[in-house]
Amino acid sequence: MDLRGNGSIVELPREVGEFIHLRYLNLSACWRLVTLPETISELCNLQTLDVRRCFHLAKLPQGIRSLINLRHLQIAGCLRMCRGLPKGVGRLTSLRTLSCFIVGDENGSDVCKIEEMRNLKELRELEITGLGKVEDAGEAEKAELKNKKQLYGLSLDFQPCRQPVVVKEVAEALQPHPNLKSLRIRWYEVKEWPRWTMEPSLPQLTQLFLSFCGKCQCLPPLGDLPLLERLEIEWMGQVKYVGGEFLGSSSKIAFPRLKHLSFVFMLEWENWEVKEEKGRKVMPCLLSLEIEDSPKLTAVPDLLLQRTPPIKIKWDKEEIGGSS
């Protein structure tokens, strides 16, 4: 049943629970939708529930834990659903997509805790928001991300900000399995990166997005990631220098597969050095470089400007132009 974008739906009738053979229910962008009936728990064959961008939907029915065949739960963009998911979501062991696991209020007895994720072993895509509410590393470790072999896409959002020491320990405990292919880290307000980003512990990673990490003063040694193809870095307000530490040191080729690199809103970034040491290459596969809103940066490394064939360079400084 596809009802996406229907602006007239405020609530679903209780009778929806009678469609026991329903496998697909798409209510995305039904922006006036306020509530879902508990009878949804009777849809025993439902595999996909999509309520993305239902901006007025404040919670999911408690009975959702009965949907044991549910594979895809899409709730990203439900801005009012800040209390968290209903307790018992961990029973949905068939879940492959959980577009937004919301860490719930600490005192909410009816709210799902992060430790319930330990049972969701089939997850392929997962976004966790509200990680700033996690009180200690032990609680985060119970999610057992490092054991989720099927997980290929992960997003970690560390708002709201707490004590940096606690956030750092929680981040360490959320180390993903080495099979991960795509990672997004947002609002990580700590000076030091988690150890698992400082080591080549994610050998399958092809995409990495780092944003709003305003306390980090340097970038992790990402050049050692052997399969990384896309790297996007934005809103790193404390980074002033990018140099050899960014390239890593363990491989003969730094960023051997990187094709697309972008820096956005690096407001304090002044200096970027890239040097090919003897017997070591740097970004040999780079196709495009984008730099935006980094007003203090005055030059792109010559090594990147002088490539043949030329790298497509987009920089919002007039003296450089669009490409080289």
Three-state secondary structure call for residue 86: strand
Enclosing domain of residue 196: 14-315
Structural domain tally of the chain?
1
User: In this structure, are residues 151 and 126 in contact, taking their beta carbons and an 8 Å threshold?
Assistant: yes
Confidence of residue 213 (pLDDT cuts 50, 70, 90): very high
Q: Does 6 map to a domain?
A: no
Quick one: pLDDT at residue 96?
95
User: In this structure, are residues 225 and 253 in contact, taking their beta carbons and an 8 Å threshold?
Assistant: no
Q: What is the mean pLDDT of residues 266-292?
A: 91
Q: Does 191 map to a domain?
A: yes
Q: Does 1 map to a domain?
A: no
Q: How many residues does the chain have?
A: 324
- pTM (2 decimals)? 0.91
Q: Does 100 map to a domain?
A: yes
Q: What is the mean pLDDT of residues 10-34?
A: 94
Quick one: pLDDT at residue 147?
94
Q: How far apart are CA 107 and CA 93, in angstroms?
A: 25
pLDDT tens profile 87-136: 999 999 999 999 889 887 666 667 888 999 999 999 999 999 989 888 88
Alpha helices in 150-243 (DSSP H): 164-173, 195-198
pLDDT tens profile 65-75: 999 999 999 99
Q: How far apart are CA 219 and CA 197, in angstroms?
A: 10
User: In this structure, are residues 52 and 74 in contact, taking their beta carbons and an 8 Å threshold?
Assistant: yes
Q: Does 7 map to a domain?
A: no
Quick one: pLDDT at residue 125?
94
Q: Does 257 map to a domain?
A: yes
Q: What are phi and psi of 223, to 5 degrees?
A: -65, -15
Highest mean pLDDT among 1-10, 132-141, 201-210: 201-210
Quick one: pLDDT at residue 107?
63
Q: Does 40 map to a domain?
A: yes
Q: Does 321 map to a domain?
A: no
CATH number at residue 181: 3.80.10.10
